[in-house]
Structure 1
Amino acid sequence: MFQFINFLLFKPSRNVATSNDSSKIALVNQMINSDKVVIFSKSYCTYCKLAKELFDKCNTKYTEYVLDNREDGEEIQRILGILTGVKTVPRIFVNQKCLGGRAECKQLYDTGELQKLLIY
């Protein structure tokens, strides 16, 4: 019984970067740096669509990476989880800084802060 509990308590996490992840981390950082606004999404995600609408309302172009349309999408999402602490999409970056997901961006939009971030 102790071994089983010990395994549950100390099971290696998939949210920890390994030495094999260095090239994928470099790719994700390159993706994040590819544009002023970068959105990681999935094609069927309602919150992703709502988040993109916020940027459309601001007349702001963005680069979107649709993870379920990529062979390496699950790996990229796992790396985003390591880098940001959150594995869900959308993951939205403005000026290489993760703003969070749709809820955080909506709050920034409602207060006018998102629009200010997009100017600079």
Structure 2
Amino acid sequence: MSAAKTKAQKIIDDNSVVVFSKSYCPYCRASKALLNEKHAKYFLLELDEVEDGAALQDALEEITGQRSVPNIFISQKHIGGNSDLQAKKGQLDDLLRSAGAIEA
């Protein structure tokens, strides 16, 4: 397994909510805004701001089949991108609560 894949998997395993993002991406911004609105605690990694960002993005594609950002995980489950997160708005509180990312 590549170092990037190991690192990406460790981040996913160690955090209840993870957003792999790019700082300039409008879809990423929309996802972060929604999570911030919910006062969710989440691990954010801006792939364009870390040295191994491209390798991590390749690794995420291997793990999830999704190349685009944001690439979102809740309770170690791949949620998908911004449209997937927005589509789950109705169940998001429950998902975040069960992940321990927002107060019960």
The two structures share one fold, judged by TM-score above 0.5: yes
From the CA coordinates, give the structure whose radius of gyration is larger.
Answer: 1
Give 1:43-58 correspondences, 5 Å limit: 43-58=23-38
Amino acid at match of 2:8: V
Moved over 6 A (4+): none
Q: Give the corresponding residue for 2:102.
A: none
Tell me the secondary structure at the aligned position of residue 88 of structure 2: helix
**CA–CA distance in structure 2, aligned partners of residues 24 and 41 of structure 1:** 15
Tell me the alpha carbon deviations over residues 39-98 of structure 1, each in whole angstroms, 9 at most, x when there is no partner: 000010010010011111211111100000111000000010111101000000001111
**CA–CA distance in structure 2, aligned partners of residues 72 and 25 of structure 1:** 11
Structure with more contact order per residue of length (Cα contacts < 8 Å, sep ≥ 6): 2
Q: Give the corresponding residue for 2:63.
A: 83
Q: Percent identity?
A: 37
**CA–CA distance in structure 1, aligned partners of residues 48 and 65 of structure 2:** 20
How many residue pairs match? The answer is 98
CA RMSD of aligned residues (A): 1.0
Q: Give the corresponding residue for 2:88.
A: 108
Which blocks of at least 5 consecutive residues in structure 1 are unaligned? 1-18
The alignment's TM-score, normalised by the length of structure 1, stands at 0.78
* Superposition deviation, residue 118 in structure 1: 0.8
